[in-house]
């Protein structure tokens, strides 16, 4: 069953004193890393030295480090590298640093759905998925608005359930304009994959129908966060 959460449902105190590692400074990485930092969260960025994204992270005030170093420092590790690189990156640099109680975060369910990444049972695994490209996520955040987001819980080791996904999505995407019916993890993966092939046209169409811009006046401070139930997340 669909449930809508708002800003007031997210306890930002849960992120105080917690370091978040953003692995990959691409489209979503640059947006969510900056949004988290600008919300007062301690953020460390991982990116390959010498790449354009590495240089961009430096321009944005970060000091990029290797993925393994970032994962070892952080309590929350969010993998925002391209789907096709995530499994190898996880195995070689991240897995050994996921000690008990840490949280692994994705913004796209491909590698979890297709069992390319199988996290240990003693860590939390969640999805925080802003429904928009990174440049839009960042732009909307900067103007005090946001984009709709989906959250899902794959593994919940300590009964925290949605306590950590909610503040993470609030500060990384500040979801706002309009509402979105959350699909299952399988559907989220399928729709996200499809959108990468035709994102510009689809997004323009959705915006034209008011699904992205709608109701800003009414919900500028009560922005919906859409949740996928635990049952759906395992399908």
Active site residue 108: yes
Query: In angstroms, rounded to a whole number, what is the distance separating the alpha carbons of residues 165 and 11?
Result: 10
Q: Are 144 and 220 in contact (CB under 8 A)?
A: yes
Mapped to the 3 state alphabet, what secondary structure does the chain carry? CCEEECHHHCCHHHHCCCEEEEECCCHHHHHHHHHHHHCCCEEEEECCCCCHHHHHHHHCCCCCECHHHHHHHCCEEEECCCHHHHHHHHHHHHHHHCCCCCEEEECCCHHHHCCCCCCCCCCEEEEEEECCCHHHHHHHHHCCCCCCEEEEEEECCCCCCCCCHHHHHHHHHCCCCCCCCCCCHHHHHHHHHHHHHHHHHHHHHHHHCCCCCCCHHHHCCCCCEEECCHHHHCC
101 Rama sector, left if φ>0, alpha if ψ -120 to 50, beta otherwise: left
- Choose, from 108, 113, 135, 234, the residue flagged as catalytic: 108
Closest CA to 215 of 180, 181, 179: 179
Catalytically annotated residues: 108
């Amino acid at each position: 069953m669909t449930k809508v959460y708002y800003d007031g449902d997210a306890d930002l105190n849960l992120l105080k004193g917690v370091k978040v590692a953003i692995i990959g400074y691409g489209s979503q990485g640059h947006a969510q890393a900056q949004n988290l930092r600008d919300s007062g969260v301690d953020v460390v960025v991982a990116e390959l030295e010498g790449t354009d994204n590495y240089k961009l992270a430096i321009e944005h005030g970060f000091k990029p480090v290797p993925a393994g170093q970032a994962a070892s420092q952080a309590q929350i590790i969010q993998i925002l590298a391209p789907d096709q690189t995530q499994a190898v990156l996880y195995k070689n640099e991240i897995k050994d640093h996921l000690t008990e109680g840490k949280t692994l975060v994705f913004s796209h369910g491909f590698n979890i759905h297709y069992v390319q990444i199988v996290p240990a049972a003693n860590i939390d695994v969640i999805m925080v998925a802003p429904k928009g490209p990174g440049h839009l996520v960042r732009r909307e955040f900067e103007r005090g608005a946001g984009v709709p987001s989906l959250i899902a819980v794959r593994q919940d080791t300590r009964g925290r359930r949605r306590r950590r996904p909610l503040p993470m999505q609030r500060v990384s995407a500040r979801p706002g304009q309009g509402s979105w019916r959350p699909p299952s993890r399988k559907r989220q993966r399928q729709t996200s994959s499809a959108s990468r092939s035709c994102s510009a046209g689809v997004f323009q169409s959705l915006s034209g129908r008011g699904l992205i811009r709608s109701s800003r006046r009414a919900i500028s401070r009560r922005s919906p966060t859409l949740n996928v139930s635990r049952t759906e997340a395992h399908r």
